[in-house]
Amino acid sequence: MSEGEGILFVCLGNICRSPLVEAVAREEFARAGLDVPVDSCGTGGWHAGQKADPRSIAAGAAEGYNLSRHRARQLAELDFRQWRWLLAMDQNNLEEMRARCPDSFHDRLGLFLEFSGVGQGEEVPDPYYGGREDFRAVLALARRGVDGLIDHIQDG
């Protein structure tokens, strides 16, 4: 991938929200005929190398999104240069990204749902301590947000 291409989705541990959004984006971008690289990571590294949370895997699979190949990783310095957009699931992770990001790349950072036009300052809530319905709610937000990204990309 060349410098400043594609979208990186960022949450805290990279096992619940961002891998689900990544899977939705990968599938829906392909359906829309968009060749946009996507990936995900977490600001924290304690889950690095682990699979996505089984509840995220199940929520995605129920709607045809495959998370089986996902392995968690931590946000790296290279990511700020490599990705065109780095989209956080919530304000806390966005602030952490801003603290780590070189000044010249701050324009690449944003909130996923805000950037995609879903809502000003709206966040994807962390479902980790919740139940199946919380993961389904994240999936619904992922689909709305990805639809907004598709519109954003196609409008150019």
Q: Which residues are catalytic?
A: 11, 17, 126
Q: Which residues pair with 11 in a beta bridge?
A: 42
Give φ, ψ of 38 to 5 degrees: -135, 155
Gap between the Cα atoms of 18 and 10, Å rounded? 6
Listed in sequence order, the residues at least 6 apart from 45 whose beta carbon sits closer than 8 Å to its beta carbon are 73, 74
